[in-house]
Structure 1
Amino acid sequence: MAKCQKYNNLFFSIFIWLIRLAILIPLTGATALAASPYDSIVLSNDTQEINIAPYLWWSRDNESSILLEDILYQRVALTWRKGTSENPNFGLNPPPYWFRLNVSNPSAREIERWLDIQYPVLDTVEVYLLADGYVLKSFRTGDTLPFSKRPIANRNFLFPLRFGPQQNYEIYIRVKTEGSMQLPAVLWDPQVFLDQDQWLLAAQLLFTGIMLAMAGYNLVLWLLIRDPIYVLYVAYVMSIAIVQLTLHGTSYQFFWPDSPSWNQDQLVFFIGTSMLFASLFSYRYLDLHINRKGLGYLFLVGALLGLLSSIMALTASYVAALKVAMFTVFVLSAVLLGSGAFLWFLRTQNAAIFTIGWGIFLIGNISIVLAKVAVFPNWKIIEYGPQIGSTAEVFLFSLALAQRINQERKQRLLMQEHALEMERKARSAQQEVLRSQQLANEELERRVALRTEELKTALTTLSRVNAQLQELAVRDDLTGLYSVDQFRLHLKEEWSRCSRSVSSLSLVLIKIDSFELINKNYGRVAIDSYLVELAKKLDDLTERAGDRAYRLAEDEFALLLPHSAIENALQVAERIRSFSEAKLMVVEGHRFTVTLSIGISNEIPDSSESMDGIIRRARSAIETARNQGGNSVQFSLDS
């Protein structure tokens, strides 16, 4: 109990730290980058990276009809305003915006720079490079156009610009989007950009690899365990991974570069599915379908909102679907984090890891949503925070699912112990009834009738328990190795198989030297600890398909090695013998080692002969080893 209290205090401290971090992040926004006093970017070969935000002037195109020619020939009177933030951000679904900045190259050499607009989900981006009022270069791209239309193949919008010597330039940028209007942009030296972009791309690939690995691992667990919670977890991991990759342009570049329409819809679609599967996963993980059903209804409502967002992404306007998705994110974030903290306070099992996992992820997730609607500045740490938070959250939830498996295993063991106790009681009741039937008087006949009724109930219970125990009979309770019955069955199968393929079959029998003496001197706990260690070693050595390990008796084990030559069997046996000889057991203050006598027989089976011969020869080899003092390996070939 003290240990659980210690861990709860630790988890609660981490949770409070996360809340403080969430509060401190927006407070640091007060130090946003002030506008540069310079109106023109002055290029030089030494300047390799320039954030253009302090040099930007912007104007709103409320009628969505202003062309570059209208600006150049002053057909419209635009009101230009100076940018005041590190990355311009104008909220959701605004009208088109025009941006302009001045660039000068006072040097005597031409300078090439790449304009990098670092928000890859803008619908349309037009860039114009002018000198002396003439358009030298123009580009048009965006996520509504095929990826192949981009001037440079990159997940961000890249525009190659050349600036002639001793010349002044103007750059005009027109942006139109139905989502968040923001323009984080940098002028790069091309080589410096390529060097840094390799690391950023590697980070994206690493994030993708981690997500795929965790999804694949848990998908395998689902195939083995068939618990739907693993499918929900895998679906959530894949959805949130696609959302993060889309926000960084990676999904459009590598997954569907020729499908701009789907690229428009899929961001909101996968935000909805991530909320849908996050709700259902949490609902199952916290066992809200069993306990606290009232709280569980909130999670189901969150799942319905996520489903609604995904449906609207395919049927409604992008803006409406995005607003519903963002509303869902906020509501469900509060529900998940608040419910987790509440259940943690009540010391509900697994609630601590759940709350910390969601806390780490939601800090980044809520911050980026607020950045998209211009509540927070659009810092780089906010852009990459959700990926860091997602990775940490996925690891924590995977750890939680592993803990869940361990808890279920302990519950199964308790059920097995309970089943054995019921079997003992049933047998005792049956013996009592049989003894009662031997008495031949009237009073006893009445009791026999009563006991017979009790017997029917006990036999019903016994039948159910026996059905459960049939599965347990396949393996040894202590070591987990196959039982002696399975040994006879598997030996028969491999004997027939090797006979048909004319392949050799090796049998390794292992006998513990001085088993009774060790048991007497050190006790049952000590010898059981050694048996478990030996079983693990035998199980590790069954590397090939078809190799199996068995416990035949208290002090006797076997390895069945089909399609194995005698040399391989000797190597395996020697590894077992040397392992046991070198293994120092320390149990309850006792220190001891155990030696083994090992016998090997090898032959090419003949279907017309009995398989008992290979067992007999292996046992004969064991006797030879024991007669020579034990701690040795002997073999007997088919004569």
Structure 2
Amino acid sequence: MVFVGLPSLLLLAVLCFAGAGAHAATPRAELAQPPSVQLRYLLDADHSLNISAILANPDILPWQAKSAGSLGLGFRDGAVWLRVDVQSASNIDDWLLVVEFPLLRALDVFVVRAGVLDQVFQTGDRFEFAARPIEHRNFVFPIQISAQNAASTTLYLRIETPYSMVFPVYFAQADDYLQGPHYVTWLFGILCGIQLGMALYHLLVFAFVRDISYLFYALFAPAILLVFTAQQGFGYQYLWPEAIWWQQKAMLFGLLWSVAIGSVFVISFLRIHRHRHNLFIVLLCQLFAIAVCALLAIFVDSPFLVEISHYLIMFAASFCLWCGIVLLREGLRDVRFFVAALMVLVTATVPYCLSALGYIDYSSKWIYGMEIGAAIQSLLLGVALADRSNRERRLRLMREEEIQGLHVHIDQLQERAQEREEGLEKRMSRKLEEQSRELHEALEVAALLRRKLESISQLDEVTGLRNQNYFFELLHREWDRALREQRELSLMVIELDDFYEIGERYSVVIQEECLKVVAKLLQDTFSRPADVVVRYGDKVFGVLLPETGSQGARQLANILRSKIRDADYDFGFGKITLSLSVGIATCKPSAKRNFKDMLETAESALYVAHSNGGGQVQHAATLA
């Protein structure tokens, strides 16, 4: 992120320097001074004036003097007439009249010599770009002014635009001006490429991390570029030279788009709805106002709407900064880079908007300053996103370490409990009985934690057998294989009788020892590689016997029942006799049934065996 943002910042600094010096730089050895002029303007709010009326009485009209070099009238309804009186000129005849503002809706230039109309230029955004007298991003007009005819030459400019009438008007030498701005063009193109690269980078990051803030950031960068390309005239020159309607709307849409996406990014990045609901409501109202302005901009071409949008931009940038400051003061350290980025944005945007609104004098540094501010802001917002991602990653690692520590603690607890249990077997005093109760409580907690861990794995931690998740998956797979190969399949469902009575009489620990005994006996009895033994209930085991018929399954079940019945088990509290109930289902799978039918049949047989007193083997009828 830093390696992408720093070149953008450097390029913008060079762009500012090149733009500020483009008019002064000249390759000639001898610099010619531009013609000396006097600027005056006249407001024509009702469009009642034309060039004929002005030429009839040019000096009677209420012209107002303006400082040479720039026109700073802010937003104006109607038309503005600008009178340029040439007072003196050098020995060079070929000059360009430059109106350095590409967003003029109508610009008519009338060249009057000795009171007679000599040349007329009609241009502006109402025509395609190719209709301009010189194809340049600014409005440029070739004017012949010599030392002999300078005093008798007057230029009248009729200007209409919904945007702010704050821009410079000056004369430049033709060769110098048309060659110099190419540096600005190349630098601006490189800047656009880097900004789009940053947007694409964050879009790819969004595709991987699924953090919606990265998507809004990726959409914010093209919006800023749209503003700059429309404002500097590069968009109309290179991207949409024939799209008149879009040229008239691009700047305003870009401003509103950038503010809207920026506001949504602020909501997403700050998660303001979780911290300050009142600020969240204001941001929603801000978005609604932007949406209304964008909708009106489609149908209305009014300076008032553009003026309102500039006020809205200043408010939105300042309020988003205030939201970040509030959360920073509340201890949310993730927003410190965000606050720095918004401070840069406000510092760059507010002077530009105040200049456009006519509150402060026009200067090209406000425009270039806004571009530099946008680059710095993009860099800092990228750093803010990266900083938050790193913090969240560190949090995830800490949680994983805590979970790992919990596993270690459980293991240590079990080891410690086992050691204490061995000591309890040697001493049967009252004090040891109290300690034994504490031990069993700890083991019950460990058992509960272990059961939670078992729910996300396929291994039963008590018996070491596969658990229910694995059992259903395996049963499904073996059913399908037996169906394809048309082989018999047997399923045993085995229940440890008196399981809950053992727990109530002895303890959970003895219950688990009994389960381990049964599990070991099942593994010894069903030892073929294809046989699978699982525990899929508190006291229920399952045995899957591929390619085994009903007679073989019944014989193995009787062997198992006899082994468990004839043995006594001593766990330190006295001898315990165990018994098992077994339900068997055997079938050759068919397409009419599925593995669940086989499991239900085996469980029904187990229920019959258990209902008849336990310690029995019940074989269900073969499935059709």
* Other-structure match for 1:73: 56
* Other-structure match for 1:215: 199
SS in 2 for 1:58: strand
Q: Aligned pair in 2 of structure 1 residues 214, 466: CA closer, same or farther (>3 Å)?
A: farther
Deviations 1:238-260 (A, max 9, x none): 11221122211122222211111
> Are the equivalent residues in 2 in contact too, given 1:49–1:187 (CA < 8 A)?
no
Q: Aligned pair in 2 of structure 1 residues 73, 243: CA closer, same or farther (>3 Å)?
A: same
Residue identity in the other structure for 2:107: V
Q: State yes or no: 1:61 paired with 2:44.
A: yes
* Other-structure match for 1:254: 238
Counterpart mapping for 1:79-478 below 5 A = 79-84=62-67, 86-103=69-86, 111-163=93-145, 166-167=148-149, 168-427=152-411, 454=445, 457-463=448-454
Q: Aligned pair in 2 of structure 1 residues 447, 345: CA closer, same or farther (>3 Å)?
A: closer
Structure 1 Cα separation of the partners of residues 444 and 371 of structure 2: 65
Structure 1 Cα separation of the partners of residues 389 and 308 of structure 2: 36
> Are the equivalent residues in 1 in contact too, given 2:320–2:342 (CA < 8 A)?
yes
Q: Aligned pair in 2 of structure 1 residues 359, 85: CA closer, same or farther (>3 Å)?
A: farther
Q: Aligned pair in 2 of structure 1 residues 201, 259: CA closer, same or farther (>3 Å)?
A: same
* Other-structure match for 1:556: none
Structure 2 Cα separation of the partners of residues 48 and 159 of structure 1: 18
Deviates more, 1:438-447 or 1:174-183: 438-447
Deviations 1:311-335 (A, max 9, x none): 3322444435324422321221221
Structure 2 Cα separation of the partners of residues 373 and 464 of structure 1: 66
> Are the equivalent residues in 2 in contact too, given 1:433–1:455 (CA < 8 A)?
no
Structure 2 Cα separation of the partners of residues 94 and 49 of structure 1: 35
Deviations 1:100-130 (A, max 9, x none): 22336766x6611111111111110001122
Structure 1 Cα separation of the partners of residues 32 and 207 of structure 2: 52
Q: Aligned pair in 2 of structure 1 residues 392, 50: CA closer, same or farther (>3 Å)?
A: farther
> Are the equivalent residues in 2 in contact too, given 1:121–1:143 (CA < 8 A)?
yes
Which has more radius of gyration?
A: 2
Structure 2 Cα separation of the partners of residues 162 and 214 of structure 1: 46
Deviations 1:40-99 (A, max 9, x none): xxxx996646497x6112112233031111112239952112113652222213321111
Deviations 1:272-297 (A, max 9, x none): 12111211212222232333333333
Structure 1 Cα separation of the partners of residues 336 and 323 of structure 2: 11
Structure 1 Cα separation of the partners of residues 76 and 420 of structure 2: 87
Structure 2 Cα separation of the partners of residues 111 and 237 of structure 1: 44
Structure ranking higher on relative contact order (CA contacts 8 Å, 6+ apart): 2
SS in 1 for 2:273: coil
- What 5-or-longer segments of structure 1 have no aligned partner? 1-43, 468-639
Q: Report the count of equivalent residues.
A: 422
> Are the equivalent residues in 2 in contact too, given 1:277–1:303 (CA < 8 A)?
no
Q: Aligned pair in 2 of structure 1 residues 352, 455: CA closer, same or farther (>3 Å)?
A: closer
| Percent of residue pairs identical | 23
Deviates more, 1:56-65 or 1:342-351: 342-351
SS in 2 for 1:350: helix
SS in 2 for 1:245: helix
Deviations 1:212-261 (A, max 9, x none): 12212211211221110001111112112211222111222222111111
How many Å apart are 1:133 and its aligned residue? Answer: 2.6
- What 5-or-longer segments of structure 2 have no aligned partner? 1-27, 459-624
Residue identity in the other structure for 1:197: P
How many Å apart are 1:162 and its aligned residue? Answer: 2.0
> Are the equivalent residues in 1 in contact too, given 2:349–2:370 (CA < 8 A)?
yes
TM-score, normalised to structure 2, is: 0.61
Residue identity in the other structure for 1:396: L
